[in-house]
Structure 1
Amino acid sequence: MTRDNQRLASVLTLAGIAPIWLLLGARLWLGMPALVLAPWALGYGAVIASFVCGVHWGQFMSQSETMPVNLLVTSNVGALLAWGFLGLGQVWVSGAALGLALLLAGVLALDAIMLRRGVIDPWFWRLRWQASAGLGLGLVAWGMLA
């Protein structure tokens, strides 16, 4: 990937953290009710977790012979867990938010394995770590606020 495309990917990925924090800001500073905002926050967390699982699916499809884990299986399980946590959010927002944060950490752990095996580039690992930390911490905050 060219340097310019790496920069673009970085900007777009880090901008993708903003919605969870904007929703938290609306809750804390504007006083909007959690009942209204929590579904949006959980939905966004589930979409991003599923998106990353889709990235893993694509990585496996293009590089299956060099993958240290079967990402076809883990990406499907991850996407189903994201969907399950979204459903859980209907009755237990805190549990769902924390579950999504843990799911993001688990998917990041798979990226760490791929980094050690030389399957993904260090710049991509840093970007994934930053994005997962930003979104994961936002979800933890939602779990604490709910």
Structure 2
Amino acid sequence: MDRDNQIIAAGLVVAGIMPVWILLALKFWLPELALAPLALGYGAVIASFVCGVHWGLFMTRSRIMPVNLLVTSNVGALLAWAMLALGQGSAVSGFTGMALVLAGLLALDFWLLQRGGIAPWFWRLRWIATAGLGLGLLVWGVTA
């Protein structure tokens, strides 16, 4: 990807981290609103988005991928859904679990980086996105 599009992607990643933090701020300003399901749901959306990126990588580059990303991405999306369901009974468990799902997807991307499956610039964006969103989800879990 050319440098201009990498810059656009970086801006979109930062924008993509913001909803969980905005919802957290709103939680303290408007405590009567039930915002936890929205924040946890956003984590599931992002985890599923990453899994979709993995599908796209595999569909266009399956010959060089060291693992079948169709399988791992389905597992990731199902785990995100399970954490969303778990969060209905225990917000702390749901938020912590969702952060762990995102961390697991990041670990897979690190593995792909080491084997030439993804570019270093993409890895950096994934790390920033997971750190920002994962930390936000953990803060939600602590304050839930």
Does TM-score exceed 0.5, indicating one fold? yes
Aligned residues: 144
Could you report, residue by residue, the CA deviation over 1:88-122 in whole angstroms, capped at 9, with x for unpaired residues? 11111110000000000000001001111112111
Match of 1:115 among 109, 113, 131: 113
RMSD between superposed Cα atoms in Å: 1.0
Deviation at 1:21, TM superposition (A): 0.4
**Could you tell me how far apart the structure 2 residues matched to 1:83 and 1:119 are?**
26
**Could you tell me how far apart the structure 2 residues matched to 1:131 and 1:110 are?**
14
Match of 1:69 among 43, 63, 67: 67
The TM-score with structure 2 as length reference comes to: 0.96
2:37 counterpart of 1:39: yes
- Runs of 4+ off more than 6 Å: none
- Per the alignment, residue 142 of structure 1 pairs with 140
The TM-score with structure 1 as length reference comes to: 0.95
Q: Residues 10 and 127 of structure 1 are in contact (CA less than 8 Å); yes or no, is this contact kept in structure 2?
A: yes
What SS does the corresponding residue of 2:63 show, helix, strand or coil?
A: helix
**Could you tell me how far apart the structure 2 residues matched to 1:110 and 1:142 are?**
24
- Per the alignment, residue 14 of structure 2 pairs with 14
Unaligned runs of 5+ in 2: none
- Per the alignment, residue 90 of structure 2 pairs with 92
- Per the alignment, residue 57 of structure 2 pairs with 59
What is the aligned-residue identity percentage? 65
Counterpart residue type for residue 54 of structure 1: G
